[in-house]
Amino acid sequence: MSATIDPGAASGPDDRFAELDRLRVSSPLYDAVIDEVKGRRIRIGDHWLADFASCNYLGFDLDPEIIDSVADALRMWGTHPSWSRLLGNPRPYADIEERLTALLGAPDTLVLPTITHIHLSVIPVLAEGGWIALDDRAHKTVYDGCSVARGRGGTVCRFPTGDLDALAALLRRAPAGGANAGTSKAGTSKAGTSKAGTSKLICMDGVNSMTGNAPDLAAFAALAREHDALLYVDDAHGFGVLGERAADEPCPYGVRGNSIVRHVGETYDNIILVGGFSKAYSSLLAFLALPTALKNRLKVAAAPYLYSGPSPVASLATVLAGFDVNNARGDTIRSDLYRKSARVLAHVRRLGLATPNTSGLPIIEIPLDDADAVDAVGRFLYDAGIYVTLAAYPLVPRSEVGFRIQVTAANGDDEIDELCQTLSALVARFPVRTRAG
Ligand SMILES: Cc1ncc(COP(=O)(O)O)c(C=O)c1O
């Protein structure tokens, strides 16, 4: 579930999760056991559904070329390296980091098993007991990383999502210090040598996992540079989908899928980009784009590099094969993904629904007028053969409870027809929020 926990909205942990726990038991869309997968259709018991809850945006999970890459890799490396990365790195690790660095046009990259591992271990290292400004709609895992940093003496302030003025005001009041880890262009920052309490970090999402929209990254980067702060961006949902702009790009997502920094034509000065392969690339691996000095520091300071089991060999193989497919066919796949997302969005707009999505990206949230209807709406969609992510409280604030549709290139046009028909029927039956509302 890639959603944002509303961190301050309820009195105690038991209260906060009661509603979700009730849905976990009552809703067929939570905690389901999937018995079979055929293309983007899934079977639960004897009920087949079109899956619009998958983050496999490019359909790499089903790509024969990528699937076929696994067997040879397993024969060569076994199923799992089992060394922590500090102890030993099978050659695919070096190949992945080299190819990823080139794809992103970044100074260097470091891969670790998941983004969750990265946030929990790297944000506290970057903060070093210093100061963090946290976007109040950043992903829960970013929030958790900041909580660990706070537990190690850091100060965490929150700013309303997208609000540059509020962030600027916070930065003006922040204690003197700067971006550590050698990320600024002029080399004026401290290259990982800053003392505890002297760093300034801004943590936020790239493409937001619920709204499907991206922040004005260039403006945030400029603000970070102006205040000698480090901008830490989680683009889990942008990597593989958004990419650099090109005169001959087949769709507005850009080309190459090399993430939000390249999409907006930015450099990596004062920016640490975090992304993952577990969405568009359908593989269990995640990365940081960062300066080599910081990479070397994290090799001894970030727990997952030292202590955690690494990603399975099958994941390393599918990442490498994913790069090949991305080179050969990625832009065609993205163009198809754009077309399919546009079909759904056009229908949502025709129905007058109030989705926050203004980007055209394949994440389409539909808020309900009545948060209490979420269970019944979920049941209706399930019965109609449509599988979505229920965006229940506290995964989203109560005012935004609804459901999230995710489109992938592997969804057939027949499935999109079924989705659109079901949305039309849903609007006639339930209090779904309209654009005017
Ligand atoms: C924005 C965002 N960040 C991080 C994560 C967690 O990624 P991982 O599974 O690699 O830990 C998710 C997963 O849903 C996400 O949506």
pLDDT given at position 434: 83
- The reply to whether ligand 1 has any atom less than 6 angstroms from the CB of 280 is no
Mean pLDDT calculated for residue range 214-243 = 98
Atom of ligand 1 nearest to the CA of 113: 10
Q: CB of 136 within 8 A of CB of 161? A: yes
pLDDT given at position 198: 53
- The reply to whether ligand 1 has any atom less than 6 angstroms from the CB of 433 is no
Going by C-beta distance under 8 Å and a sequence separation of 6 or more, which residues neighbour residue 306? Answer: 84, 85, 86, 299, 300
Using the mean position of ligand 1's atoms as its centre, give its distance from the Cα of residue 236 in Å. Answer: 6
Torsion from C-alpha of 91, 97, 99, 104, nearest 10 degrees: 170
Atom of ligand 1 nearest to the CA of 2: 14
pLDDT given at position 436: 59
pLDDT given at position 1: 44
Q: CB of 285 within 8 A of CB of 319? A: yes
- The reply to whether ligand 1 has any atom less than 6 angstroms from the CB of 423 is no
Q: CB of 357 within 8 A of CB of 21? A: no
pLDDT at 100 over 80: yes
Atom of ligand 1 nearest to the CA of 276: 10
pLDDT given at position 292: 98
Work out the pLDDT band at 180, boundaries 50, 70, 90: low
Question: What is residue 371's DSSP assignment?
Answer: G
Using the mean position of ligand 1's atoms as its centre, give its distance from the Cα of residue 175 in Å. Answer: 31
Burial class (CB in 10 A: 0-12, 13-18, 19+), 246: exposed
- The reply to whether ligand 1 has any atom less than 6 angstroms from the CB of 205 is yes
Average pLDDT, the chain: 92
Mutation choice for ligand 1 from 5, 117, 121, 141, CB with most ligand atoms inside 8 A: 141
Q: Which pLDDT tens digit goes with each residue over 277-326?
A: 999 999 999 999 999 999 999 999 999 999 999 999 999 999 999 999 99
Work out the pLDDT band at 383, boundaries 50, 70, 90: very high
pTM of the model: 0.93
pLDDT given at position 187: 38
pLDDT at 261 over 50: yes
Using the mean position of ligand 1's atoms as its centre, give its distance from the Cα of residue 424 in Å. Answer: 31
Mean pLDDT calculated for residue range 186-192 = 38
CA dist 202 and 130 (Å) reads: 11
For 135, half-sphere exposure in the C-beta direction (CA atoms, 13 angstrom radius) is 27
- The reply to whether ligand 1 has any atom less than 6 angstroms from the CB of 406 is no
Q: Which pLDDT tens digit goes with each residue over 356-368?
A: 999 999 999 999 9
| Closest C-alpha to 236, from 269, 270, 263, 275 | 275
pLDDT given at position 13: 53
**Which residue minimizes the CA distance to atom 15 of ligand 1?**
2
- The reply to whether ligand 1 has any atom less than 6 angstroms from the CB of 318 is no
- The reply to whether ligand 1 has any atom less than 6 angstroms from the CB of 311 is no
